[in-house]
Amino acid sequence: MGAQPMDPDLALAIHTSSPELAMALAPFPWSGDTPVALRCKVTGKGLANVLHQELLHLLPASQWGRLAALAVATGPGGFTGTRLGVVLARTMAQNLHIPLFGCGSFVLMARRLAQQLLQDHPEGCAIQLEQPLRKRGWIRGRYRITAHGGVQERRAPQLLTTAVAPGEESPWLHQPAVVEPAADVVELLRVLMERHALGDPGPWQGVLPLYPAAAVERPWESP
């Protein structure tokens, strides 16, 4: 009898930077054309109670040995939710000896918005993603979208307590920083594949949650 075919390798993306948990599982490598397995669940502040259970629904522990790479959203987002997702991903990557790629949740939003914005700005554009915080100000990040759909982070998300000064807003297009969990976790898979193709070894030690907690009081200077 011939040898039994081996199960294909898998890649897992975890996004916990919003009140809705999202996980995506795809073959590794993944071209982006085939469907992926998705698991999305509104958890609010109860993420800790369901995170492991939801992962097991998507991929039983007996199959974790098939994982070849992981990716996780690093925020900004809810403090506890982001931390839980990053800790889970780091622990799995360390124990399974596989690469882990972290990507900011605002970067994922900008990548998702890129094709839509290029319809009105085919030459490319610059956007400012904004997330209001109750009684604390805004988290803002700036991104340049190229004519080819690439995304460059020009200013990592920061917490600002003052409004942007008049005249400083141009040429930035203002967009609300809203996570779309199912779409953003699939975008996270694409980031994983791109970085792996570039030869990034994906060390888990460098993947940390992003908490822009130190407020910038002065107007934001344009880069």
Which domains, from first to last, does the chain contain? 10-105+180-206 (3.30.420.40), 106-177 (3.30.420)
- Shortest CA distance to 16 belongs to which of 188, 135, 175? 188
Mean pLDDT of the chain: 90
CA distance 16 to 84: 8
Type of residue at 34: T
The whole-number pLDDT of residue 219 equals: 52
Residue in the block written with tokens 């009898």: 1
Counting every residue written for the chain, the total comes to: 223
Confidence of residue 1 (pLDDT cuts 50, 70, 90): very low
The whole-number pLDDT of residue 221 equals: 55
Does the pLDDT at position 5 exceed 90?
no
CA distance 137 to 162: 7
17 versus 136: the higher-pLDDT residue is 17
**Distances 55 to 23, 25, 38, 100, 204 between C-alpha atoms, Å:** 8, 10, 10, 16, 19
The whole-number pLDDT of residue 174 equals: 93
186 versus 166: the higher-pLDDT residue is 186
Does the pLDDT at position 168 exceed 70?
no
- Shortest CA distance to 106 belongs to which of 148, 58, 138, 69? 138
CA 21 to chain centre: 12
Q: What is the pLDDT of residues 18-60, one digit of tens each?
A: 999 999 999 999 998 889 999 999 998 899 999 999 999 999 9
- Shortest CA distance to 14 belongs to which of 177, 152, 223, 189? 189
What does the pLDDT average to over 80-90? Answer: 96
Does the pLDDT at position 214 exceed 90?
no
Does the pLDDT at position 178 exceed 60?
yes
What does the pLDDT average to over 152-180? Answer: 82
CA dihedral 137, 141, 145, 149 (to 10 degrees): -100
